Amino acid sequence: MVSVPARRKRATIHDVAVEAGVSRGTVSRVVNDEPYVSASARAAIEAAIEKVGYVPNNAARSLVMQRSQAVGFIVHEPHSLFLEDPNIGEILLGANTALSDADYQMVCLIIDSERDTARVARYLSGGFVDGVIIVSARQHDPITRVVEKLGLPTAFVGHPPDLRDLPFVGIDNRRSARDLTERLLATGRQRVGMIAAALDRDSGADRLAGFTDALGERFDPALVASVPLYAYAAGVEGMRELLHRSPDIDGVFAASDAVAAGALEALRDAGRSVPGDVGVVGFDDSAWARRTQPPLSTVHQPASGLGAGAAELVLQQLRGEATPVGGLLLHTPIVWRASA
Amino acid sequence: MVSVPARRKRATIHDVAVEAGVSRGTVSRVVNDEPYVSASARAAIEAAIEKVGYVPNNAARSLVMQRSQAVGFIVHEPHSLFLEDPNIGEILLGANTALSDADYQMVCLIIDSERDTARVARYLSGGFVDGVIIVSARQHDPITRVVEKLGLPTAFVGHPPDLRDLPFVGIDNRRSARDLTERLLATGRQRVGMIAAALDRDSGADRLAGFTDALGERFDPALVASVPLYAYAAGVEGMRELLHRSPDIDGVFAASDAVAAGALEALRDAGRSVPGDVGVVGFDDSAWARRTQPPLSTVHQPASGLGAGAAELVLQQLRGEATPVGGLLLHTPIVWRASA
């Protein structure tokens, strides 16, 4: 173990001026591309910049310009879910591409704890970003209050129910869930249940509401198991509970593909065939849907489009343009495979 | 479609001063917690801050302090791989937790294109981060040159072979691959091949070298298929190629679990049983390893520890402490399941 050289000192405009033998003002005019600098002074300064390794400090510029040319992408998820969620990665990349096209730097911030919340709030307050995309906001989310207070251009992927008037892009979870459940019922299943997940979010609550809509008077609360997260392990648990409560169950709407994959495992363990004994449908059309045995019938979630759409809503605000009130809802086709 | 109010103007120290009926200097002293302000002026200023919604601009402070209290986490991956890679999420979260513990904000930056590279380089040059963690750097990576030039405290997860003297945390891919291949050979397999992946990275090249080490004189280049990415689809392709070239193959080391999962699909399609006809081993011990049928024998990759370790190397530099020369190598136990 030997030490490596300590942090090198950053070259300043002063170092350039000394090296070039000119005033700092002249260096500043060259750096900022202003006129009235002789060709020889410009050449000397450019050589000096190269030699001392000077790079303009954009944090300083952002102070003057009040612009950082960066947009925050905030993910508010427990760690375990961040790793399991099939959509976050695609939403992130969809947003990155759209922001990159507009020459904005996307900076992704993860909130996993109370302390993270406070620190991200400070960061947002600090002028480091010009706008924010928020994924997975919950009701009464302190981050939502911070962006409101700062007046930062913001867009949500999905949207907390208590903030209907902020721009968002999402899908109609309720309608998608209703359509999918109706499709499952149309295959002739008699005892159709649901593994509901994440009921503290609009997506989770809306999927359950859509399921209830489709069943109408046939709705039986004993056929609904509620699990906290859109996760594989939660799906295993939820399916076991449903099998325990209603051994005659013959159809299941799992609130996500990961939940459905877990349900398939529990059904396999219980000796039930899919789709023979029990028809199973998921939600998301993620990588899970194509890799389970059998592959899942599900709803396609336009994850990349959600990210790109949210980025566009922030960019519209940054350009001073109007954004649609009530948000954008993207289309969610049903993809029918072999699990129901 | 109706427009929502345009971006609200951010409250300034001037607005606070007007509201409180004091000078900007007095406001500044209160904001910066300096003495010599009367209790009544302080109370009036605090009320005014609350009323106009003033928040101190930390980009301005970072200019003065030369500190942003943020550390960049740079992922240099093609989009498709970012979504497939089982380690990046855990590395990211491991780093986030360690930086959060030290009260640093982690900002994740994704590089997917040449344009992203240039923009991230500008961002790093701009004083927005105090240090950088780089994942998946390649040889001659321009971002590596940028952080060197800036003298930014940096740590790599893994490390480009052309920069042996920068701090890194990694695993001994060569030794791990050799140990795993020896274990596979010890099961009695006679024709053992490899699906090598990502040979432009140290990890990919080292895993192939370890495989070669283990086989010694028995090494047969015809039994190595090379694929560009650590990805499921690449595994399907690579296994098909090996089966085509050497139908008598009875053992396969896949360069990652995702590659191994793809290999299992190709073997299933070809009517080969695993581990009966062909023994398959992977690398990573990711979620893939527990979900394939049969579950994978593999090498455990301490992904969260890699992220936390890289964060600690950056924090050491920020505190002016020495970092270990030659990097840190974490332990990688073999996890033997049912695929070989």
ipTM: 0.73
User: Are residues B106 and A105, on separate chains, in Cβ contact within 8 Å?
Assistant: no
Residue B4's pLDDT is 39
Residue B1's pLDDT is 37
Residue of A nearest to B166 (CA): A4
**A159 and A315 Cβ atoms separated by less than 8 Å:** no
Residue that wins the pLDDT comparison between A311 and B77? A311
Residue B227's pLDDT is 96
Using a CB-CB cut-off of 8 Å, the residues of chain B touching A90 are 83
Using a CB-CB cut-off of 8 Å, the residues of chain B touching A163 are none
pLDDT band at A32 (very low <50, low <70, confident <90, very high): confident
Percentage, residues of chain A above pLDDT 70: 88
User: Are residues A320 and B7, on separate chains, in Cβ contact within 8 Å?
Assistant: yes
Residue A319's pLDDT is 92
Backbone CA torsion sign across B307, A88, A315, B15: negative
What's the mean pLDDT when you consider all of chain A?
87
Of B72, B18, B74, which is closest to residue B45 (Cα–Cα)? B18
Mutate to test the interface with A, among B75, B105, B114, B315 (most CBs of A within 10 A): B105
pLDDT in tens, A82-120: 776 778 888 999 999 999 999 999 999 988 788 888 899
Q: Using the predicted structure, report yes or no on whether residue A42 has a pLDDT greater than 90.
A: no
**B122 and B282 Cβ atoms separated by less than 8 Å:** no
Residue A35: exposure state from Cβ atoms within 10 A (0-12, 13-18, ≥19): exposed
Residue of A nearest to B78 (CA): A93
**B233 and B78 Cβ atoms separated by less than 8 Å:** no
HSE toward the beta carbon, residue A177, CA cutoff 13 A: 28
User: Are residues A125 and B165, on separate chains, in Cβ contact within 8 Å?
Assistant: no
User: Are residues A116 and B123, on separate chains, in Cβ contact within 8 Å?
Assistant: no
pLDDT in tens, B170-186: 999 999 999 999 999 99
- CB contact burial A116-152 (16+ within 10 A = b; e otherwise): bbebbbbbbbbbbbbbbbbbbbbeebebbebbeebeb
Using a CB-CB cut-off of 8 Å, the residues of chain A touching B60 are 63, 127
Of B79, B150, B323, the CB nearest to A55: B150
Using a CB-CB cut-off of 8 Å, the residues of chain A touching B153 are 7
Q: How far is CA A334 from CA A94, A178, A288, A337, in A?
A: 21, 11, 15, 10
Of B103, B119, B151, the CB nearest to A105: B119
User: Are residues A7 and B320, on separate chains, in Cβ contact within 8 Å?
Assistant: yes
Give the three-state DSSP class for A246: coil
Of A177, A166, A122, A123, which is closest to residue A144 (Cα–Cα)? A166
Mutate to test the interface with B, among A76, A85, A100 (most CBs of B within 10 A): A100
Q: Using the predicted structure, report yes or no on whether residue A57 has a pLDDT greater than 70.
A: no
Q: Using the predicted structure, report yes or no on whether residue A39 has a pLDDT greater than 70.
A: yes
Mutate to test the interface with A, among B62, B85, B101, B115 (most CBs of A within 10 A): B62
pLDDT band at A154 (very low <50, low <70, confident <90, very high): very high
What is the distance in angstroms between the Cα of B292 and the nearest Cα belonging to chain A? Answer: 9
Q: What is the edge-to-edge ordering of all strands in the sheet holding B192-197?
A: B224-227, B192-197, B251-254, B279-281
Under 8 Å CB pairs connecting chains A and B tally to 179
Mutate to test the interface with A, among B61, B63, B110, B304 (most CBs of A within 10 A): B110
pLDDT in tens, A251-288: 999 999 999 999 999 999 999 999 999 999 999 998 88
Which residue segments constitute the domains of chain B, with CATH numbers given? 13-56 (1.10.260.40), 70-171+304-329 (3.40.50.2300), 173-299 (3.40.50.2300)
Q: Over its length of 340 residues, how does chain B's per-residue pLDDT go in tens digits?
A: 333 334 445 677 888 888 888 888 888 878 777 777 888 888 888 888 888 877 765 555 454 445 789 999 998 877 666 776 778 888 999 999 999 999 999 999 988 788 888 899 888 888 889 999 998 766 677 888 888 888 899 999 987 666 667 899 999 999 999 999 999 999 999 999 999 998 988 889 999 999 999 999 999 999 999 999 888 889 999 999 999 999 999 999 999 999 999 999 999 999 999 999 999 999 999 888 988 889 999 999 999 999 999 999 999 999 999 888 778 899 999 999 999 9
